[in-house]
Amino acid sequence: MQVYTPPLRDMRFVLHELIGSEALKELPGCEEVTADLIDAVLEEGAKLVTEVLAPINQAADLEGCTYENGVVRAPKGFKEAYRTYVEGGWNGIACDPKWGGQGLPASVTKFIEEMMCSANLAFGLYPGLTHGAYLAMNHHASEELKEKYLPKMVEGVWTGTMCLTEPHCGTDLGLLRTKAEPNGDGSYAITGNKIFISAGEHDLTENIIHLVLARLPDAPKGVKGISLFLVPKFLPTEDGRPGMRNGVLCTGIEHKMGIHGSATCQMSFDGATGWLVGEPHKGMRAMFTMMNSERLSVGTQGLGVGEAAYQGAVAYARERLQGRALTGAKHPDKPADPIIVHPDVRRTLMTIRAYNEGCRALSGWVARHLDIMERSTDPEERQRAEDFTALMTPIVKAMFTDLGFENASLAVQVYGGHGYIRDHGMEQYVRDARIAMIYEGTNGVQALDLVGRKLPAHAGRFLRSFFHPVLDFIDANLDDPEIGPYMGPLSKAFGALQLATGFIAEKGMKDPEEAGAAATEYLRLFGMVALGYMWARMAKLAAEKRNEPGADIAFYDAKRATARFYFERLLPQVASLWGAIKAGKGSLMALDEAVF
């Protein structure tokens, strides 16, 4: 049986104490977002996921979705859970009140996302894709399309998808073949095939709104000739109800390694009626509004699964009796000690804990910048926030999902053989976590995006949004009695990041393969330093807070102990990553292709 309790205490620590939720009230639209309101939302979200979503997670994984003659049915319990989710107003919490949403900031809603991903990742994909489609439309669609579709999508009675991938092309969308022919009345006839479409067909809602990439007849070749179209499953009537069936059909669903409760569909568009979203041939710009949001959300999926796996591993380690502690029996009244007394089990649990809590803190920092980027009235402040978000998006997507999979695997190891079988539900976390490293751009693509686009952008301007606060923090805390000992390791790791950045910039200008060969290690190195910075900030804050009257001393001391573990046992990986980067492309490219 799976175990999950939303980590509300840690979420409140990040939101209120580390990031500072009080500052949210200074942003337009957040004037009433108080700490009490945030806590109430988090507590209600916790009830939703523990009472409604988590109980059906394992059964849905075993049952999966079913397909018959173009009809897809979600697992038992999903339709009822979705109805509860929508009736509670959760589908619109992050959406503009203009369209019926509640307008809560990302600083809050990202933690609701994390809870949902921990409790039931497959279920979360249905509303998650809808929100991505909402964002793309809200930024790029005409007012007419917005007024017709967004209220229904925000309410949750209609869901959304993103239809990019085709059988012959994934990341390289320049090869896309789906066509859009003008109908003469402002609409277009969309024809082509798409694969790997999450939530492309299901029985949870009365209509599904597809955002489809396609080419107009006069489109230039490559990605510069791609446009974005809105294609509903049912053409809405004048009064906003689903009308005639459109020319879009699900021709099958994939039988996957994980996320069995999520319908991953093959879609056929046969002269389907659609409407242009944004400008002709500018579809990639519109789609990336959706995709960048989705990449941050996919990072949250990695964190969510990692947290659920951690909690299950801790529960088992406390209960499983096996052997005696190396220093003598800790529980002499029992036939053996629980395995949590063993150093290697502790190493495993501490590793998962340190990564999860570090990622949660970094997620909070990025979410704060999302709010500033979307809401601030200061153009310079908005630009800095946009720079930071652009830089951190590939890191959050790749680092969090790599760690989510690693943490789920480590949690299975705590269970031993009992983790490998289905009974405890742990092996599901490994299977579910694996896809997050692949979709929305594989993690290798994220690394290339970081070194190929984000590093050189605007002569390194994006980098300054991260480098400057980290350097300022190190300089300001070298002599701090509580965290001074961590500043040396953090400074050394940050120095390696600076050197690696310069190395890639210099080598990459002469030979792009050098940058490509270093990309994955560089992203991991960057992520390790980012987590180190967050852990240093958390350790400093915990040291201060534990001395306040009525302080939760146990919580703050646990935070400080976990910070110590991160700096002593995990951050040293930076040295080997820097060593691999310096080695260059030679050993990667040495073998002739025919030898593989």
Does 491 map to a domain?
Answer: yes
Q: Which domain holds residue 461?
A: 442-590
Question: Given pLDDT bands bounded at 50, 70 and 90, which one contains residue 289?
Answer: confident
Percent of the chain with pLDDT over 90: 95
Does 334 map to a domain?
Answer: no
pLDDT reading at 223 higher than 90? no
**pLDDT number for residue 118:** 98
Q: Which residues are catalytic?
A: 440
Does 543 map to a domain?
Answer: yes
Percent of the chain with pLDDT over 70: 100
Does 501 map to a domain?
Answer: yes
In terms of DSSP bridges, do strands 158-163 and 207-214 run parallel, antiparallel, or are they unpaired? Answer: parallel
**pLDDT number for residue 399:** 98
Chain-centre distance for alpha carbon 33: 24
What is the rounded distance in angstroms from the CA atom of residue 438 to the CA atom of residue 475?
38
Question: Given pLDDT bands bounded at 50, 70 and 90, which one contains residue 92?
Answer: very high
Does 118 map to a domain?
Answer: no
Smallest Cα–Cα separation from 349: which of 116, 558, 119, 541? 558
What does the pLDDT look like over 142-159, one tens digit per residue?
A: 999 999 999 999 999 999
What does the pLDDT look like over 417-469, one tens digit per residue?
A: 999 999 999 999 999 999 999 999 999 999 999 999 999 999 999 999 999 99
**pLDDT number for residue 508:** 86
Say if residues 407 and 413 touch (Cβ distance below 8 Å): no
State how many domains the chain has.
1
What is the rounded distance in angstroms from the CA atom of residue 500 to the CA atom of residue 508?
11
Question: Given pLDDT bands bounded at 50, 70 and 90, which one contains residue 288?
Answer: confident
What is the rounded distance in angstroms from the CA atom of residue 511 to the CA atom of residue 381?
35
229, β-bridge pairs:
212, 276
In sequence order, which residues have a C-beta less than 8 Å from that of residue 100 and are 6 or more positions away? 92, 151, 154, 155
Does 99 map to a domain?
Answer: no
In sequence order, which residues have a C-beta less than 8 Å from that of residue 254 and are 6 or more positions away? 195, 196, 264, 265, 266
**pLDDT number for residue 369:** 96
Average pLDDT over all residues of the chain: 96
In sequence order, which residues have a C-beta less than 8 Å from that of residue 585 and are 6 or more positions away? 511, 513, 514, 516, 517, 518
**pLDDT number for residue 479:** 92
Does 153 map to a domain?
Answer: no
pLDDT reading at 173 higher than 80? no
Its pTM stands at: 0.97
**pLDDT number for residue 286:** 83
3-state secondary structure 492-506: HHHHHHHHHHHHHHH
In sequence order, which residues have a C-beta less than 8 Å from that of residue 234 and are 6 or more positions away? 206, 207, 242, 243, 244, 245, 246
Does 485 map to a domain?
Answer: yes
Q: Which long-range contacts (CB under 8 A, 24 or more apart) does 372-375 make?
A: 372/27, 374/106, 375/27, 375/28, 375/29, 375/30, 375/105
**pLDDT number for residue 164:** 92
